[in-house]
Structure 1
Amino acid sequence: MAIRVFPSVEESNKALADYFVETGRQAIAARGRFAVALSGGSSPKKLFELLASDYRDQLEWERVDFFWGDERYVPHTDPQSNYLMAKKALLDPLNIQPAHIFAVETDLPPAEAAAAYTRTMQQYFGSQDSLPLDLDLLGLGDNAHTASLFPHTSVLTNDTVSVQALYIEEVQANRITMTAPLLNQARATAFLVYGEGKAEAVRQILEEKRDVQQYPAQLIQPENGNVTWFLDEAAASKLTQK
């Protein structure tokens, strides 16, 4: 695991954009394609916009396949949709073709949408239980959740390589999320976290004793991949070692 701390959000985003492109180039050289799981929420929007502008000529985008680590159970046209945010900030500006976009089918009932997404990934990778994304992009909530792995929820003990649906009481909403075993198959994982409001969660994940029910992001321990944290100084401010 590597922890990289930058003076500003802008420098964090640039460093992660560099990492994204380099990881993509390596994947394309090795396997002819780059399979990436995007994170949701508001944090990655600036990263996506940066990739779609300053980095648009630095990667063979027609060889990139886009998945989502989690999705809110809302229509694709809803402002809360992770898909919609990525579509506006990244996919449309880069003219990514539909064949390379693997969105969660939120027009299905939650459990069916999760099962369908699991099947989609199985078909993509040609395997029932080996679904190795080239890169997971992850964020971190101030309650130490990542993707939709929220504290004290049933999905935290799910040991299947799959996508699951669950109702999260904390936000009173249905979510669809990759399980930790699926996320942990990724060849590379990058956390993008910034802001003082995330500093305590960062400290908990990286320095507290393992307690995945309380600090779910501690579940992210890839089997054969690496994890890199991209933090601004505010998010890293409570770490005792940097």
Structure 2
Amino acid sequence: MPRKTIADYLVYDTPQRLAHAAAEVFAKYAADGVAARGVARIAISGGSTPKRMLALLAEEPFRSQIDWERLRLYWVDERCVPADHADSNYRMTREQLLSKVPFAEENVFRMEGELNPEDAASRYEATLRNSFRLEGAEAPAFDLVLLGMGDDGHTASIFPNTSAIDAMGTLVAANHVPQKDSWRITLTWPVINHGRRVVFLVEGQAKAEVLREVLLGGYDPDRLPAQLIRPENGQIGLLLDAEAARRLPKSGKHGDAETGTLELTR
């Protein structure tokens, strides 16, 4: 039988409202993880929306809502650059959030982009196995995985027609991206799909058509790798701004957001 996934989305009229909604989601699943298991493990991505979200998390009311001592922070992907490089996802997070809240260094699990890509991927896989205490073929179950999506249909650092699309036997992959003439380190899509909650943050008019294709078009993950994200729990959340969502059907309202639901089949 085809596998079905329910995609629920909330559409906000501005990128700032979208970022605020993302901060609320972050705080909620951080609290849920602590309540259920004593710690919360969250994997984040780079990009403009996460940057605004991180800045909000460092301010009230979110700063006081989050139990920073029990939060474990991971990355979905990283560019192969040093930690202090302007393109580093870790650097952005450090500047926007980590330097402003009481976060213990031992609870921050960054990808080492300064290393050889294969070594960096191998070391991050070991980090995941050790910090989650995994054995054998087990995959980590993040309390929340926050993803972006490019206007080419990529997510994490799983780009169209690259080797990471076929990386199923590892937790972390070194992925050469010819389109960017660079290497990236990325969680593999089976790991992302094992997350307890997976949420896309997408904004901008340039994403509208590809988002429609990812959600409503034929299944073609080599061309649209974001279609690989079909969580095992059968649910995807999407937080969108009005420009990104302009090609999607809306069916209702939730607070200050328009809502929609789609059933995805592959």
Q: TM-score, normalised by structure 2?
A: 0.88
**Structure 2 gap ranges (5+):** 1-6, 251-259, 261-266
8 Å CA contact 2:154–2:225 kept in 1: the answer is yes
Equivalent positions of 1:1-242 (< 5 A) are: 1-54=7-60, 55-128=62-135, 129-224=138-233, 226-240=235-249, 242=260
SS in structure 1 of the partner of residue 63 of structure 2: coil
- What letter is aligned with 1:179? T
The structural deviation recorded for 1:225 is 6.2
Equivalent residue pairs, number = 242
Higher relative contact order (CA 8 A, sep 6+): 2
| Structure 1 residue ranges, 4+ long, deviating more than 2 angstroms after superposition | none
Whichever structure has more strand as a proportion of its residues is 2
Provide the rounded CA distance (Å) in 1 between the counterparts of 2:28 and 2:113.
32
Report Cα offsets for 1:28-70 as digits up to 9, x if no partner: 0000111011101333110110111131001111111111000
Report Cα offsets for 1:194-241 as digits up to 9, x if no partner: 111111121111111111011100111111263210001111011245
- What letter is aligned with 1:49? A
**Structure 1 gap ranges (5+):** none
Of the structure 1 ranges 39-48 and 145-154, higher mean CA displacement relative to structure 2 is found in 39-48
8 Å CA contact 2:19–2:49 kept in 1: the answer is no
Of the structure 1 ranges 153-162 and 226-235, higher mean CA displacement relative to structure 2 is found in 153-162
Provide the rounded CA distance (Å) in 2 between the counterparts of 1:85 and 1:16.
17
Provide the rounded CA distance (Å) in 1 between the counterparts of 2:102 and 2:182.
31
Provide the rounded CA distance (Å) in 1 between the counterparts of 2:65 and 2:185.
32
Provide the rounded CA distance (Å) in 1 between the counterparts of 2:159 and 2:191.
16
8 Å CA contact 2:80–2:115 kept in 1: the answer is no
- What letter is aligned with 2:235? N
8 Å CA contact 2:193–2:229 kept in 1: the answer is yes
The structural deviation recorded for 1:158 is 1.5
Distance 1:225 1:22, change over 3 A: farther
Report Cα offsets for 1:70-91 as digits up to 9, x if no partner: 0000000100000000110011
8 Å CA contact 2:79–2:185 kept in 1: the answer is yes
Provide the rounded CA distance (Å) in 1 between the counterparts of 2:29 and 2:249.
29
The structural deviation recorded for 1:95 is 3.0
The structural deviation recorded for 1:130 is 2.6
Provide the rounded CA distance (Å) in 2 between the counterparts of 1:197 and 1:107.
31
Of the structure 1 ranges 219-228 and 166-175, higher mean CA displacement relative to structure 2 is found in 219-228
The structural deviation recorded for 1:110 is 0.8
Distance 1:75 1:115, change over 3 A: same
The structural deviation recorded for 1:161 is 4.2
Root-mean-square deviation (Å): 1.2
- What letter is aligned with 1:48? L
- What letter is aligned with 2:45? S
8 Å CA contact 1:17–1:47 kept in 2: the answer is yes
8 Å CA contact 1:186–1:225 kept in 2: the answer is no
Provide the rounded CA distance (Å) in 1 between the counterparts of 2:234 and 2:102.
30
Report Cα offsets for 1:160-208 as digits up to 9, x if no partner: 2410102110000110000000111100011111111111121111111
Provide the rounded CA distance (Å) in 1 between the counterparts of 2:176 and 2:91.
21
Report % sequence identity: 38
